[in-house]
Structure 1
Amino acid sequence: MKQRVQKLIALAGLASRREAEKWIEQGRVTVNGRIVQLGEQADPDRDHVAVDGRPLRLEETPVYVLLNKPAGYVTTLRDPRGRPVVTELLRDVPARLFPVGRLDLTTEGLLLLTNDGKLAWRLTHPRHEVTKTYLVRVRGRLTREAQRTLETGVMLEDGITAPARVAGVRGSDSHTWLELTIHEGRNRQVRRMCEAVGYPVSRLKRIRLAFLELGTLAPGQYRHLTREEVARLKRL
């Protein structure tokens, strides 16, 4: 069955769809020896799909890794500025993994990596509303009014956010800790939400993705998901 070439690349675990689209635009992808254009389709059972001349393999064993990302690492497969990338923390994992969603350079915490492109797409697609919970430290004492705005929707430059859940609020006059749960995946969303209500973020850590939690993982450590966890993710 024919599918878009960028989807086949993602299913093979080589890259996210967005990254695969860039590879196609750069002329790095061929089907039956011909450079393809964005939007073209191919049948993996009949067509020879290759990236940089290397055949695409869709039979790779799926691998699912939960990483406690430290601050100072970028959530990409490579960085033109030479900054550390999260996959450097998984050098002893034989599979080529890519991140499910992103955490920015200074954000810590739970990051899922896999070569299962289909599951990664489902977990990041907005319609599935997979929740993500962050432990946030903001400057100043969070007012009840600001909390209500976070819980009902914050107007950002790219539109109003969906309602968030706020819990565990505690702190002092100098700062406030809170747990913020969202299901959208906009760029730097948590930081922008807090800044929009007048509270710049001084520390941000993702502690939960759906039902997955960091547990006792130290920064830079990872573990493989259990078979039961993978099955439960696929049911979301």
Structure 2
Amino acid sequence: MTEEERGERIAKWLSRSGIASRRDAEQIIAQGRVKLNGQPVTHPATFVRKHDLVQLDNAPVAEPERTRMWRYHKPDGLMTTHKDPEGRKTVFESLPEGMPRVISIGRLDLNSEGLLLLTNDGELARRLELPSNGWIRRYRVRVFGVVDEARLAQLAEGSVFEGVKYGPIDAQLDSKKGDNAWLTVSLREGKNREVRKVMMGLNLHVSRLIRTNYGPFQLGTLLRGELEEVQSRIIRDQLPAAPTAKPATRKSRTGN
């Protein structure tokens, strides 16, 4: 049987449709939320063939497009999740009409802002989040407190705060005025709330956190709430394994 005749594993198919990463798609399947041609899917190794009907929570899922990616300037006050149990507004509710279903590559917490990459390919999102790809995430960080530059320099050797081990972090003092200072912080690992927790370990309170870079992609001149599709040529150059399709669209505003 050829690959076309056999089809594609449904967990991978769902991830390419922008539903979730393959790992999360497997969990969705285990929860009994997915149907194939009207029948519940019970195993992530189930195969989907062309023209099969896939449903999530009884709603049809569109067939995967080729890989697309967007740069988004996330404002603070938005959750990076598709649905917040506390009813707070999310990034995905703020996107322009006509956007395909997308997921984020990594996250920014409620009070963080700056560059957030979005893609319609869940498998790609998972791959680009892994520390093993070596991509640097860079932030502009405003802190309140007394900055000890010697302790900042020591972060480059790795650190441990409250029993959690963090990889090397490059932290540079850019400017200070009174008890407020701006830092540039670069890291490759990206644990949950890593910058805030490490700064807290240095007795510094983060009052503003702006991501400016994620690997080769930059926030650049995007305004708050602005969205711009990454050109297919750039995706091919930076992500040679990713198939691409439509040309990039111009910048659009999300209303934030």
TM-score range, shorter chain: 0.7 to 0.9
How far apart, in 2, do the equivalents of 1:214 and 1:187 lie? 21
Residue 131 (structure 1) aligned with residue 136 (structure 2): yes
- Give the equivalent residue in structure 1 for 2:219: 214
Q: 1:164 aligns with which of 162, 166, 169?
A: 169
- Which shows bigger deviation, 226-235 or 188-197? 226-235
SS at match of 2:186: strand
Residue 192 (structure 1) aligned with residue 197 (structure 2): yes
- Which shows bigger deviation, 134-143 or 2-11? 2-11
- Give the equivalent residue in structure 1 for 2:249: none
Aligned-pair distance for 1:21? 4.0
- Give the equivalent residue in structure 2 for 1:9: 14
Aligned-pair distance for 1:43? 2.1
How far apart, in 2, do the equivalents of 1:173 and 1:146 lie? 19
SS at match of 1:134: strand
- Give the equivalent residue in structure 1 for 2:155: 150
Which ranges of structure 1 fall in alignment gaps of 5 or more residues? none
- Which shows bigger deviation, 123-132 or 1-10? 1-10
Q: 1:234 aligns with which of 236, 239, 248?
A: 239
- Which shows bigger deviation, 70-79 or 115-124? 115-124
Shift in CA distance, 223/83, structure 1 to aligned 2, threshold 3 Å: same
Q: How many residues align?
A: 235
- Give the equivalent residue in structure 2 for 1:100: 105
1:59 is matched by which residue type in structure 2?
P
SS at match of 1:180: strand
Normalising by structure 1, what TM-score? 0.87
4+ residue segments displaced more than 6 Å: none
- Give the equivalent residue in structure 1 for 2:250: none
Conservation of the 8 A alpha-carbon contact between 1:63 and 1:95: no
Conservation of the 8 A alpha-carbon contact between 2:103 and 2:125: no
Let me know the Cα RMSD of the aligned residues.
2.4
Shift in CA distance, 206/141, structure 1 to aligned 2, threshold 3 Å: same
How far apart, in 2, do the equivalents of 1:36 and 1:129 lie? 36
- Which shows bigger deviation, 14-23 or 207-216? 14-23
Aligned-pair distance for 1:68? 0.5
